[in-house]
Amino acid sequence: MVERGGNLVAETVENVQSKTIMPIVKESIEKGTQIYTDEFNAYNSLRSMGYQHGVVPHKEKIFVWGKAHTNTIEGFWSLSKNGIRGTYHAVSDKYLQHYLDEFSFRYNHRNDVTPMFLSFLSLAASPLMVQAE
């Protein structure tokens, strides 16, 4: 999930069924929010859950429909996949969330003026990270 111009959260899920995805949406996104998706069936219940839902009909080779597009999240997935292929070459399911966390961190700090390595060090020194260890 990504907010345009904002931060991104990437989470591994057991499957892409509506019963798996919708509780995450409900927990993470405020009702009434405008959500843009492709036409994947798992998203069909968004309106009935209280969200505004714009659909981009990718099957019809349409990728922008007025303000509706999924280019932001598609760009993240492209960067992540290319980063995995180019740097790590492959990942196992066991560690996939760790890789997603890394690429999410990079994405969420893309506009920082502080070098990313220094941002990471200051985060690693925070009390929350020390407690997690």
CA-wise closest residue to 7 among 119, 110, 127: 110
Residues in the chain: 133
Is residue 11 included in any domain, yes or no?
Answer: no
Q: pLDDT tens digit string along 90-133?
A: 899 999 999 999 999 889 988 888 887 887 787 777 665 545 44
Is residue 4 included in any domain, yes or no?
Answer: no
DSSP H/E element including 53: strand 52-55
Q: pLDDT tens digit string along 7-65?
A: 999 999 999 999 999 999 999 999 999 999 999 999 999 999 999 999 999 999 999 98
Its pTM stands at 0.79
Contact 36, 68 (CB under 8 A): yes
Is residue 5 included in any domain, yes or no?
Answer: no
Count of Cβ atoms closer than 10 Å to residue 81 Cβ: 11
Domain range for 80: 18-132
Is residue 104 included in any domain, yes or no?
Answer: yes
Is residue 124 included in any domain, yes or no?
Answer: yes
